[in-house]
Amino acid sequence: MIPFKLISLKNKNKLILLYISFILFILDIIFISINYSLTKKTLNTNLLQRAQTHQEEFNLTLQMTYRNMLQISTFISQNKELNQLFLQGKKAVEKEGGGAGGQQAQQARQQLLNKIKTSWDYMTKEFNIRQLHYQLGPGSLSFLRVHKPEKFGDRMDDLRHIIVATNAEKTIHTGFETGRIYSGLRGVSPVWATDPNTDKKVYVGALEVGTSFKQILPIITRLFHVNASVLLTKQHIENKMWPQFIIEYFNKNPNINYYLEATTSPNTKNMLSALSIQKDFITLQTSLIEEDSRYLSAYYFPLRDYRGTQNKALPPSGFILMWEDVTPLVHAFKHNFMINIALGIIGFLFAQIGLIWIFNRENKLLDAKQNALTDGLTKLFNRRYFDSTLQRELSRAKRYKEPLSLIVCDIDFFKVYNDTYGHKAGDECLKKIAQILPTQIKRSSDFVARYGGEEFVIVLPQTNLKSAINLAKKANKAIYSLQIPHKNSATKPVVTLTLGVACTQNLEEGADLFETADKNLYLAKNSGRNRVEPDI
């Protein structure tokens, strides 16, 4: 019977071993699945971050283009001689019945063209400018297309809303607009001239400088190594372009549902066929497309024309499609996955170590990000975080018409403190103050940052001036209550704080929030320190 018992025990052990092996196998499969999911998520997050970065780069390039167009139009619109010729043309058009005018209008038009033609040829060559257009108001009456001087006298009030707005408001405007044949990125400036008959400054019309996406997309590709296409909806172009032009385009491109305004690659049609375009062209993830042993990451976002930026209820004019070759990233992902399978075969323990290593790596990235935004000594937010966050809060306060207050704090005679007690004691003093200041704020939207040296800032969204001053006074008392000895202070024998306060709702027109708070800080210093300014 003993051998039988031994055999039964061996069989039992085999079963236990099988069970353990099965459990380990399942655990390995679970580990590989989890690791695959995490790695894929990291890849997708990386691709999305790259796409969003490219979107920011595109928008920055677009804003710089608008700025460049506006700078050129503003510069030209300040030329008195050109403006006088434009004024002569306007008077001639009015005298000769409007529209294209007659002989006198044509003479003024030709003189204006002759005067600016040489400079125009140079600008088109050097600065990617495609269009220079003088237009009369009200509305949009073409007086001189420097880029196409043979065409003038037509009205496009229902299309050229940037021109209409400039002539109506007599202020600068920028934006993207589609005309009868093509679209443009435009900067428009009002033109004024002195009427020789009355010696008074009169409004003449609008000067438009424009370029196109065809000019700026190659720049984006060259700088950021990404392909891009600008596509417009049928609804948008049917409301703008000549019908025969639209019919001709879509007859030549039967497999595309959007009008291709500009692109840096002939691959746009293939990219569109591989994508599912969402409503309003808003996507929260990239699409990974395999093509000819390459992997392309595609991403798109809405494009609004000038009217769309003025009225968000209008649908987007189209969208920007961007894609880049991410083959090395995908290969790296697959390589990592194969390594994970090998680690799973080696054993659950090694897989666990690998997983811990991955999480440690992620934590280090978060730690690095946190360190980049915090002050090493006080552990408060640093100036970099303050600068970027203040700009966002200023934009938000302006958008929602809410008050935003700022307190600038300075430790009184801190240099004397360091000279008296040493820099180590000075660091301890900064730490103590950094511990107290955050206790004075209650809301998650408020924050304290170390601006530099012995200076701190407190940002208070949705807070009026009176409330901010009250909080500043509490902070002043809290620091005083620490009773940190400062025997050589000219104010008190302990460390004290001087604070300057400012609020967006109380700023003079054009004033800067930080500069105002800083001025109030120095006013408080000059008034004896250890106080708050303004004191109401």
Cα(509)–Cα(117) distance, rounded to whole angstroms? 41
User: Mean pLDDT across the stretch 371-395?
Assistant: 90
Q: What is the per-residue pLDDT across 443-480, written as a single tens digit (0 to 9) for each?
A: 989 999 999 999 999 999 999 999 999 999 999 999 99
Rounded to the nearest 10 degrees, the angle between the axes of helix 2-77 and helix 213-224 is 140
Tell me what pLDDT residue 432 has: 96
Question: Residue 15: which pLDDT band, with cuts at 50, 70 and 90?
Answer: low
Structural domain count of the chain: 4
Q: Could you tell me which residues come within 8 angstroms of residue 429 by beta carbon, excluding any fewer than 6 positions away?
A: 411, 414, 417, 421, 484, 495
Q: Residues 498, 463: contact at Cβ < 8 Å?
A: no
Q: Is residue 59 situated within a structural domain?
A: no
Percent over 70 (pLDDT), the chain? 90
- By residue range, what is the domain housing residue 507? 383-533
Question: Residue 8: which pLDDT band, with cuts at 50, 70 and 90?
Answer: very low
Cα(285)–Cα(295) distance, rounded to whole angstroms? 16
Residue in the block written with tokens 């002569």: 88
Q: Which CATH number characterizes residue 197's domain? A: 3.30.450.20
Tell me what pLDDT residue 517 has: 96
Q: Is residue 51 situated within a structural domain?
A: no
For residues 206 and 225, state if they share a domain: no
For residues 187 and 313, state if they share a domain: no
Tell me what pLDDT residue 283 has: 84
User: Which structure tokens are listed for 535?
Assistant: 């004191």
Question: Residue 1: which pLDDT band, with cuts at 50, 70 and 90?
Answer: very low
User: Mean pLDDT across the stretch 162-167?
Assistant: 96
Q: What is the per-residue pLDDT across 126-148, written as a single tens digit (0 to 9) for each?
A: 777 889 999 999 999 999 999 89
Q: Is residue 50 situated within a structural domain?
A: no
Cα(476)–Cα(416) distance, rounded to whole angstroms? 19
Domain boundary among the residues 165, 181, 214 is at 214
Domain boundary among the residues 299, 330, 361 is at 330
Residues in the chain: 536
Bridge partners of residue 461, in order along the sequence: 404
Q: Is residue 125 situated within a structural domain?
A: yes
Domain boundary among the residues 214, 231, 260 is at 214
pLDDT at residue 124 tops 90: no
For residues 166 and 294, state if they share a domain: no
Q: Is residue 461 situated within a structural domain?
A: yes
Q: Could you tell me which residues come within 8 angstroms of residue 138 by beta carbon, excluding any fewer than 6 positions away?
A: 164, 167, 168
Taking only Cα atoms into account, the Rg of the chain, rounded to an integer number of angstroms, comes to 33
For residues 410 and 496, state if they share a domain: yes
Least confident range from 238-252, 340-354, 383-397, 426-440: namely 340-354
pLDDT at residue 11 tops 60: no
For residues 203 and 325, state if they share a domain: no
For residues 126 and 196, state if they share a domain: yes
Cα(417)–Cα(424) distance, rounded to whole angstroms? 11
Helices (H), 127-226: 161-169, 213-224
For residues 304 and 258, state if they share a domain: yes
For residues 405 and 526, state if they share a domain: yes
Q: Is residue 237 situated within a structural domain?
A: yes
Q: Is residue 19 situated within a structural domain?
A: no
Tell me what pLDDT residue 4 has: 33
For residues 86 and 141, state if they share a domain: yes
Q: Which is nearest to 174 in space by CA: 204, 145, 210, 142?
A: 210
For residues 255 and 282, state if they share a domain: yes
For residues 248 and 319, state if they share a domain: yes
Q: Is residue 277 situated within a structural domain?
A: yes
For residues 431 and 515, state if they share a domain: yes
